[in-house]
Structure 1
Amino acid sequence: MSIAFFVSGLVLVFLLGTLASYNRRGIRLRPIAIMLAVQLVLAFVLLNTEVGVALIGAVSRAFGKLMELGVTGVDFVFGGLENQGVSNFFLDVLLPIIFISVLIGMLNYFRLLPVIIRGVGLALSAVNGMGKLENYIAVSSAILGQSEVFLTTKKQLGAVSKQRLYTLCTSAMSAVSIAIVGAYMTMLEPRYVVTAIVLNMFSALIVANLINPYTVSREEDLLEVEEIGRKLTFFQMISESILDGLKVAILVAAMLIGFISLMNLIDYLFSYVFGLSFQSVLGYLFAPVAFLMGIPWAEAVQAGGIMATKLVTNEFVAMLSFKEQAAQFSPKTAGIVSVFLVSFANFGSIGIITGAVKALHEKRGDEVASFGLKLLYGSTLASILSATVVGLFL
């Protein structure tokens, strides 16, 4: 049955991607097949081998320790505000992001991150035959985040074609910043978070190949990368990283307050008028998609509601909802939903990416806004693909 649902999920992604394609005749199956094969191997290794389990365990322990160390600083400042034995989401999950942000800033300052990102990006380019810039964005988005990544390629924004710009933005929306991975791991099983980050890089490029096929000439395939914070002194970089981390924590907290309150209001109105919660309505709409991905029909409505919640709000709101209901799901459903939730594919991200590009190049920002809904469509298909691949091994 797992194989059958893998095929049905794959057909769903390829059908919906092809229907929305700018150039169906230009779709190149070879790079798609290669990347899909790589995804299958990686998912199997990470989820079903001793090496993969050990690797994910090491990553999980590392982030767990980093979150623990981050909390020490939070406790020094806010320790007296917490009730003994009670966890506070803002203090224990969001504020440690500041510490993770500092570490990322240091790795970037000492040129370690740029070397890793370029190396992995060039290796991917050799495997899938796509442009160096596309693969660089796919890798760096998973580390730097969906808006920061464009700062490193701002010189090239004005030169790339509209087609390439769509692919770059799809990768950015399909990824998640490593700065908040630790926060995700407090709500989802770490093995699914790590697996999703790896698979999403390929899923975004596969979907982009379906919706937006093109070829890049050698003359166009240039990669000029600027290193963030290059002109800052070490302690200036530390200060900037601290402030960046604080901005992320405050932004996520504000969005949670606004979106959760709004969802509760909509739920109240739907329950009052129709006798159904808004999440249940979303669940019924998204249930067929969840079923084709491999989720049993008995759980499809409930799981579909959580998955749809991510699209209309954000992944944090959906993860908190999932955490409350996780015990009701089978292990397979929990794994598929978890992987689906690990990305920035939601309506709010359209504005974030558009604003990030517009700040660097106004004309290209307008172009991103023009295909914003199609960008969300593509990145959602990427999430469906990653979750479908994982379902095959659960």
Structure 2
Amino acid sequence: MNILIALLGLAVVFGLAFVASNGRKKIRYRPLIVMVVLQALLAFLLLNTVVGTTLIGIFSKTFETLLEYAYEGIGFVFGGILAEGRAAIFFLNVLMPIVFISALIGILQYIRVLPFIIRYIGLVLSKINGMGKLESYNAVASAVLGQSEVFISVKKQIGLLPKHRLYTLCASAMSTVSMSIVGAYMGLIPPKYVVTALVLNLFGGFIIASIINPYKVEPEEDILEVQEEEKQSFFEMLGEYIMDGFKVAIIVAAMLIGFVALIAMLNGIFATIFGISFQEMLGYVFSPFAFIMGIPWNEAVTAGGIMATKLMTNEFAAMVSLQSLIEAGTLSERTIGIVSVFLVSFANFSSIGIIAGAVKGLHEKQGNVVARFGLKLLYGATLVSMLSAIIVGLFI
């Protein structure tokens, strides 16, 4: 039964992507089939084999260790607050470690380890996905640097890109997540699903973009020019990345305060007027999509509400809701896995403004172009999340 539902889900996702395609006759199906098969193989490897379990264990343990180091710094600044109830203080436990992880990313950038890894993984991916080197580089870089910072590394080419290539770059940025906040995600949802989503979304972004926005990059256009960061001393760089990490933590905290409070208010208003909360109403709207992703029908409304929360606000607000349900033991492992994978991306309305603003800061005209296809960008990124969740549902 799960296989039949997964096939239905794949048909719906590909159908929705095909309907929105701006060049249906240009779609190349061979790379698509290869990437879907790769997604399935990787999901099976990560979730159902000893090798995959070991790899996820190593990845999770690495982040656990890094978080423990982060807590040393947090504890020094905030004294006994952290020790009194680490799990109870979201800002300290989940958001403040972003500062430390951001510093580590800065160090790896400075010693040229990350640029080397990103560039050559991107080159390998370009052989698989049939797209250009720039698109492949950007997808990997987005998963490390973040959805706004990644455009700085390719700013030399931003102004030269046609609309269709710019869409693919922005789609990759919205479909992935920044490595600096992966540790924060692992504090809210099961780490194995975070790792799996990171891998699947990388291919999923290419799959959906290849349907919605198909094109072929000519050899003379297939040039990758990465902007080198301005030469800084080690401690200048370190201070910059630490402050960037702190800004991210504060911004996420502010957005959560606002969004969670607004949702609570809407829940109260809807419950008073209609006898049903705002999230429950959205849950019913999104429940069919939850069902075709493989979630049992008796949990589809609850899962649909969490999915809608992510889309309307951000992934953190949705993960907080999911975490409370996990702790209450009200969801099955299957639903937890599928919803968790769906949540690991930047596919929400606020990301349209973030990405358009980042591009506009580098090239005003191209920023306006991004703003115009913003809703289509979100549409595609949401389909990427659904595709990854459906694939995972086959192996839970």
Aligned residue number for residue 342 of structure 2: 340
Aligned residue number for residue 221 of structure 1: 222
Counterparts of 1:359 and 1:305 in 2: how far apart (Å)? Answer: 35
5 Å matches for 1:39-188? Answer: 39-82=39-82, 84-85=84-85, 87-188=88-189
Q: Deviations over 1:101-160 (max 9, x none)?
A: 000000000000000001110001111221111111111111000000000000111111
TM-aligned CA deviation for residue 80 of structure 1: 3.2
Aligned residue number for residue 18 of structure 1: 18
Aligned residue number for residue 300 of structure 2: 300
Q: Secondary structure at the match of 1:328?
A: coil
Counterparts of 1:65 and 1:93 in 2: how far apart (Å)? Answer: 14
Aligned-residue sequence identity (percent) comes to: 60
Q: Deviations over 1:332-384 (max 9, x none)?
A: 11100000000000000000000000000000000000000000000000000
Matched, 1:388 2:390: yes
Q: Deviations over 1:251-282 (max 9, x none)?
A: 00000001001111111111111111111011
Q: Deviations over 1:185-232 (max 9, x none)?
A: 01111000000001001111100011111111001110001234x411
TM-aligned CA deviation for residue 83 of structure 1: 6.8
TM-aligned CA deviation for residue 82 of structure 1: 4.7
Aligned residue number for residue 30 of structure 1: 30
Whether contact under 8 Å (1:307, 1:337) holds in the other structure is yes
Counterparts of 1:334 and 1:80 in 2: how far apart (Å)? Answer: 33
Aligned residue number for residue 314 of structure 1: 314
TM-aligned CA deviation for residue 84 of structure 1: 1.8
Matched, 1:284 2:277: no
Amino acid at match of 1:77: V
TM-score, length of structure 2 as denominator length: 0.98
TM-aligned CA deviation for residue 27 of structure 1: 1.3
Amino acid at match of 1:73: G
Counterparts of 2:338 and 2:107 in 1: how far apart (Å)? Answer: 34
Aligned residue number for residue 361 of structure 1: 363
Counterparts of 1:108 and 1:116 in 2: how far apart (Å)? Answer: 10
Whether contact under 8 Å (1:279, 1:305) holds in the other structure is yes
More deviation, 163-172/73-82: 73-82
Whether contact under 8 Å (1:108, 1:227) holds in the other structure is no
Whether contact under 8 Å (2:338, 2:393) holds in the other structure is yes
Counterparts of 2:228 and 2:60 in 1: how far apart (Å)? Answer: 28
Q: Secondary structure at the match of 1:215?
A: coil
Whether contact under 8 Å (1:184, 1:193) holds in the other structure is yes
Whether contact under 8 Å (2:74, 2:82) holds in the other structure is no
Aligned residue number for residue 4 of structure 1: 4
Q: Deviations over 1:81-101 (max 9, x none)?
A: 457235311111111110000
TM-score, length of structure 1 as denominator length: 0.98
Whether contact under 8 Å (1:40, 1:389) holds in the other structure is yes
Aligned residue number for residue 254 of structure 1: 254
Amino acid at match of 1:79: G
Aligned residue number for residue 373 of structure 2: 371
TM-aligned CA deviation for residue 4 of structure 1: 1.0
Cα RMSD of the aligned pairs, angstroms, is 0.9
TM-aligned CA deviation for residue 244 of structure 1: 0.4
Q: Deviations over 1:286-305 (max 9, x none)?
A: 00011011111111000010
Amino acid at match of 1:390: V
More deviation, 335-344/31-40: 31-40
Whether contact under 8 Å (2:75, 2:83) holds in the other structure is no
More deviation, 23-32/302-311: 23-32
Q: Secondary structure at the match of 1:232?
A: coil
Q: Deviations over 1:151-182 (max 9, x none)?
A: 00001111111001111101100100000000
Amino acid at match of 1:231: K
Counterparts of 1:140 and 1:295 in 2: how far apart (Å)? Answer: 32
Amino acid at match of 2:111: F
